[in-house]
Amino acid sequence: MKTLVIVESPSKAKTIEKYLGKDYHVISSKGHIRDLPPDELGVDIEASFEPKFTLMRGKEKVVQQIKEEARNKPVLLASDMDREGEAIAWHLAQILSLSDQETNRVLFSEITEKAIKAAIKRPLRINRSKVEAQFARRILDRLVGYQISPFLWKVIQVKSLSAGRVQSVALRFICDLEEKILTFVPEEYWKFKARFLCEKMQGELETALVSVDGVSLEKQPIRNVQDAMKIEEEILKSSFAVRSVEEKVINRKPPAPFITSTLQQEASNRLGFSVSRTMKVAQELYEGLETKDGPLAFITYMRTDSNRISEEALEAAKLYITEHFGESHSKTQRYGKNKANTQDAHEAIRPTYPDVDPQKAEKMLSADQAKLYRLIWSRFMASQMIPAVYRQTKIKIEDIEQGCYTFEAEGARCVEEGYEKVYPPTSKEKDLSVVPVAGTPASLSHFEKAQNFTTPPARFTEASLVKKLEKEGIGRPSTYASIIHTLLERHYAYREQKSLVPTFLGMIVNHFMSDFFPKIIQAKFTASMEENLDKVEEGEENWKEAIQRFYSDFEPTLLKLKEKTLTKSLNWLFSTNLPCKENEKHTLILKMGRFGPYLRCEACDKNYSISEKAKIIFRQNQAEIYGETVLENSKEVVAIGRACPKCGGDLVERQGRYGKFIACSNYPKCKYTENVDEKVAAKCPKCGADVVRKKSKRGRTFFACKNNAYNGGTCDFFSWYEPTEEKCPQCGQTMVLKKGRSGEESIVCESCARTTRIAKKTK
């Protein structure tokens, strides 16, 4: 009789079945099978928050197949090893009527033959504490989202809005930072640079003025041109000498191997990957790919907050480093738990086979997979190597007469690369390999002063937001990608280059939450709740008691808001700092309508739409609006620089009820319209310009270069299939994405018909 093994994903099922052989049959649940119902709260608050789990839509056939396959067979549950995976295992056990006392739970952090066979031999019981921790998170998120969102709809009147327990805190971080940027007042300061000729040094020594009369310019900057000119005058009259030369050797320790949050941050900083892109590619590397030597999984489980490395992996790293860099470069490092709540059954993110280096791997991987694998492999190997050794130098030069002006030059020279052989730093330091002798003269050869102004704080990137969330204890590594995705999908924020910028709507939603649910969006409160949920997972806290404590704080605010809504005393109107376009004596009022916020002049009876890129600061009942505010008696319009093919008028981009579209500016005389071209990720294989998704007159989708003749360009690239960033390993042509009738996606070369891999089935 075969043993049935149930995993989460179909691709993983194929790989594992090949490893286990003929005595096992491996099938997939395709993720979660049960959840709280989508059309009701699904939580009985009066019955101690008892959840009502129902079969998810579209999972009926999957569950039926699982039940049929499991009939009269022993069953092993091998879903992922995080909270979500444990909950999936519990739900599977429930639909299959498996006992809580059965040892049917299989855990592994890497998809290798050895790891899987070892896990199969040592099945465990389902971890009830971990399951209850997932219940608690899911119920809390439902209580907040399901009960706050209707008030958002009533007040802001946009049905697509939602509030979330963790997403609202992340939105607050972004909006608070934006307010600091908007209210930032630049301050003048002056910087001074000098170049000196010193004995025993070839060329000039570049320095910066760091102190005047013993006072650091960092602590007390020069704030005006008069003082700057006085300093310049005195320096040009002075003679200088080398006051001191300080040299010391410093060891730079190798970084720890990746956990989820650090991988997300480094992939963003070094590769330019978004958090969701990083997790998607990491999932592919973890689940395994078909290679000429059979299925191969490249990395360990990617949702982890543990730095632990198995002894087997440590030994494999040591062998590789010794063979390729010499035994002197190897230094075994054991990393323990980095937090009290870390699940140390997990390992750090590392290559499953350390001897498969990036050069070998890239022949089997797509471009994105190869980049991320190189990053993970390099970081892991670096963690097992000796420190990098630098000789750090600091040279101080002062005026001889009074010692009023101190200039400094700093640099560092690498003495031993150590781990940086495989994981080099992102920036290089100034090399001061030849230094002057203290007490010798220094001749001023060049001096310059420069006026500067302080700059506002930088906006969050995805990497820095993840770092902030982690530092504040908000959310957990596995949730960061979905938090950012939700903020972007709900149009609460948008990307501007690498920065995350709040939209006008996002700032209004944040003010709503601050106004009515201030405690919910407090970082300390949310972090405290996360700690309580971690205690539930560790078996130190009852999950229903943890929810009750939260709800005791939450319910009174909810009831007050409900009362205001019923009595219609909730009137969200704000006077603004903007004058009416028709009559500047009148100021506009910010109101909420069925399409969201808009501006109104009560005196002129005119309404004005607002750009989503406008910014707002609330001060009691006053709303100060900045930036790209659109004051037009119609929906927002943006000229696109093309003529209308019907009448020759200017084409503009408009915001309609169902999104953006292109129309003629001579409407209603001319009713020409067209869809807004949607840009795809890949660049044109012929000229490198953007590729856009378009529709033919018959409604069929096609892809064309934006630099085509229609837009005044010369490129003739055209394809019925979406081009990808992958190149065919056989002929070097750009590969395209094709979809079959059953929804399966494949990446294919149109020149030689080579198919490299099959993607997941589309929804």
Active-site positions read: 301
Sequence letter at residue 271: L
Q: Measured between alpha carbons, how far is 281 from 681 in angstroms, rounded to an integer?
A: 15
Count CB-CB contacts under 10 A for residue 666.
17
Those residues whose C-beta lies under 8 Å from the C-beta of residue 682, and which sit 6 or more positions away, are 691, 722, 723, 724, 725, 734
Contacts for 482-486: CB closer than 8 Å, 24+ residues apart? 483/164, 483/166, 483/167, 483/170, 484/170, 484/274, 484/275, 484/276, 485/276, 486/162, 486/164, 486/167
Instruction: Report the C-alpha dihedral over residues 215, 216, 222, 223, rounded to 10 degrees.
Output: -100
Query: Tokens in use for 71?
Result: 């009939």
Which residue in the block uniquely carries the two structure tokens 């963690």? 383
CA distance 709 to 552: 64
Q: How many CA atoms lie within 13 A of 547 on its CB side?
A: 25
Question: Closest Cα partner for 397 from 242, 205, 245, 212?
Answer: 242
**DSSP-derived secondary structure letter, 269:** I
Neighbouring CB atoms inside 10 A of 571's CB total: 9
Query: Which residue(s) pair with 289 in the sheet?
Result: 296
408/211 Cα distance (integer angstroms): 9
Beta bridge partners of 453: 188
Nearest to 32 by CA among 70, 82, 88, 94: 88
With contact defined as beta carbons under 8 Å apart, do 302 and 346 qualify?
no
Nearest to 742 by CA among 722, 763, 713, 721: 763
Are 342 and 305 in contact by the 8 Å Cβ rule? The answer is yes
Report the distance separating Cα 623 and Cα 570, nearest Å. Answer: 17
272: left (phi over 0), alpha (psi -120 to 50) or beta: left
What are the start-end ranges of the E strands in 278-387?
289-291, 294-296
Strands 3-7 and 75-77: parallel
Q: What is the DSSP string of 671-703?
A: --EEEPPEEEEEEPTTT--EEEEEE-TTS-EEE
d(CA 719, CA 701): 9
Q: How far is CA 740 from CA 12, 56, 302, 603, 718, in A?
A: 21, 25, 30, 59, 20
* Exposure string over 29-56, b if 16+ CB within 10 A, otherwise e: bbeebbbbbeeeebbeeeeebebebeeb
- Work out whether strand 215-216 and strand 240-252 pair parallel, antiparallel, or are unpaired: unpaired
Q: What is d(CA 507, CA 321) in angstroms, rounded to the nearest whole number?
A: 51
